[in-house]
């Protein structure tokens, strides 16, 4: 064991240790708050000066993270956000929490990880611990980060320490948060893993050590691929059940009464968020290096990716039965966040549904209590809409409403009473014997 480890562990124990967090979004900001609240000095790094300005003013731009938690930490003097990456040398540990999106060809886009690694290499000093939390393919930590850091002349496991510990954030989840979700961690060496486990052990109840970063990287992919494949399965069964006149939601609920051997997954309008629509394709890309094709992942991706278009098709069918054309119809999409009760639009299927409806000539608006302004993000740059209030007058003015995200704040009775036609992708209106509710 390197002679640095006992000294660094002792400093962690007495909180004489500075944690740097790169990327102050849905993963980085919770980490900032958690480390700060258990007594560490924290430096937050982001390339967006507006984010830095808001955070240093004690404001939160993430709905489920209360501003008073940010403000309290700023007032304590233990936290500061900055755009100055030269200050990375001040941090004893550096957590990398940057996006890992896909290119248009569904290949890994590691530009943010690479840029961050280069910035860290420029200030790397002895004793620092670097933790990659961004989801990626197995091998990234050792193939992309380690060579850049060792090019400085410092040796991993002796002079600096490198681990992969995937984020497991679930925005809006009131039952599990950073402190209570076990933290999987793999170090490049035993010394790396030991120091990483010591640090994360101060903010989480359980640290799960695995052999190397590759096992930790694969663990995160398995978790999300498991969900993607099972969601694809029920989405495919939804289409079949629709043609057979079977209520798939009732079937799933009935199957879930079996006390063993079955876990319920529910269909929807498509996948959203920063993980499940993206992460599986990091492994499909890496698998090609080993001469393998990941058939399950590819098929699941095709099914899930087709869901927004299937929903639009159900809208067309529902309007046709009423003698109306999609072209020229007034439609209201209910919910543009990718899941209920949050404000996160990343990869939301609602964005594609809005786009497809507009491309076919519909007059489309949306309502979402958590998202006052809808921006299209990377793949839908032309979307720029303002939410309409959900009132009886708004609903009555539509030819149809499409429930995409079942926010708790939506008044289902109001919608049921005043919307002339409801296309329900979430089974929110189950048990309502109305011919104006169409399951999608």
Q: Is 275 a catalytic residue?
A: yes
- Spot the catalytic one: 97, 131, 192, 275: 275
* Domain regions of the chain by residue span: 4-210, 221-302, 306-439
Q: pLDDT, tens digit, for every residue of 352-409?
A: 999 999 999 999 999 999 999 998 777 777 788 999 999 999 999 999 999 999 999 9
Mean pLDDT of 289-303: 94
| pLDDT score at 122 | 97
* 26-63 as b/e: b if 16+ CB within 10 A: bbbbbbbbbbbbeebbbbbbbbeeebbebbeebebbbe
End-to-end CA distance of the chain: 58
Mean pLDDT to the nearest integer, 225-246: 97
pLDDT at 431 over 90: no
Nearest 5°: the CA angle 206, 207, 213 is: 160
Domain spanning 306-439, CATH architecture: 3-Layer(aba) Sandwich (3.40)
Under CATH, what is the fold of the domain 4-210? Rossmann fold (3.40.50)
This prediction has a pTM of 0.93
Residue 380 has a pLDDT of: 79
Going by pLDDT thresholds of 50, 70 and 90, the confidence category of residue 433 is: low
pLDDT one-digit tens code per residue, 173-183: 888 888 899 99
Q: What is the mean pLDDT of the chain?
A: 94
CATH of span 221-302? 1.10.1040.10
- Please say if the pLDDT value at position 2 is more than 80: no
Write out pLDDT tens, residues 77-111: 999 999 999 999 999 999 999 999 998 888 999 99
Query: What is the model's pLDDT at position 204?
Result: 96
Please state the φ and ψ torsions of residue 83, each to the nearest 5 degrees: -100, 0
Give yes or no on whether 4-210 and 221-302 have one common fold.
no
Structure tokens at 413: 């009775």
State the pLDDT at residue 358. 95
Q: Note whether 43 and 33 are within 8 A (CB).
A: no
């Amino acid at each position: 064991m390197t002679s640095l480890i006992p000294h660094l562990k002792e400093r962690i124990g007495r909180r004489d240790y500075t944690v740097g967090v790169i990327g102050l979004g849905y993963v980085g900001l919770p980490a900032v708050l958690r480390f700060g609240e258990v007594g560490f000095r924290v430096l937050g790094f982001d390339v967006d000066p507006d984010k830095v300005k808001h955070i240093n003013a004690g404001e939160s731009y993430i709905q489920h993270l209360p501003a008073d938690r940010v403000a309290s930490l700023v007032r304590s003097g233990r936290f500061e956000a900055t755009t100055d990456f030269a200050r990375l040398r001040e941090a004893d540990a550096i957590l990398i929490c940057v996006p890992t999106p896909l290119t248009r060809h569904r290949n890994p886009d590691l530009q943010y990880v690479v840029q961050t690694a280069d910035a860290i290499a420029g200030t790397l000093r002895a004793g620092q611990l670097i933790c990659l939390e961004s989801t990626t393919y197995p091998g990234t930590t050792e193939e992309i980060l380690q060579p850049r850091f060792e090019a400085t002349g410092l040796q991993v496991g002796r002079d600096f320490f490198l681990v992969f510990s995937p984020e497991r954030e679930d925005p809006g989840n009131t039952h599990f948060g950073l402190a209570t979700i076990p933290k999987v961690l793999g170090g490049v060496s035993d010394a790396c893993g030991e120091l990483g486990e010591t640090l994360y052990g101060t903010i989480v109840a359980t640290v799960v050590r695995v052999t190397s970063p590759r096992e930790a990287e694969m663990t995160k992919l398995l978790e999300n691929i498991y969900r993607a494949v099972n969601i694809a399965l029920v989405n495919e069964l939804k289409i079949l059940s629709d043609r057979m006149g079977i209520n798939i939601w009732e079937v799933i609920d009935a199957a879930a009464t079996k006390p063993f051997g079955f876990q319920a997954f529910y269909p929807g309008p498509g996948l959203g968020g920063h993980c499940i629509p993206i992460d599986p394709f990091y492994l499909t890309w890496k698998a090609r290096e080993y001469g393998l094709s990941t058939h399950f992942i590819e098929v699941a991706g095709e099914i899930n990716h087709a869901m927004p278009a299937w929903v639009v098709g159900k809208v067309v069918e529902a309007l046709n039965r009423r003698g109306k054309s999609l072209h020229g119809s007034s439609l209201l999409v209910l919910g543009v966040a990718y899941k209920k009760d949050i404000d996160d639009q990343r990869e939301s299927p609602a964005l594609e549904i809005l786009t497809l409806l507009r491309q076919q000539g519909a007059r489309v608006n949306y309502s979402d209590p958590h998202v006052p302004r809808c921006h299209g993000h990377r793949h839908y740059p032309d979307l720029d809409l303002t939410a309409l209030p959900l009132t009886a007058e708004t609903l009555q003015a539509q030819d149809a409403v499409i429930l995409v995200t079942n926010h708790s704040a939506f008044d289902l009775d109001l919608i049921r009473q005043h919307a002339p036609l409801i296309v329900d992708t979430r089974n929110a209106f189950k048990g309502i014997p109305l011919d104006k509710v169409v399951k999608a």
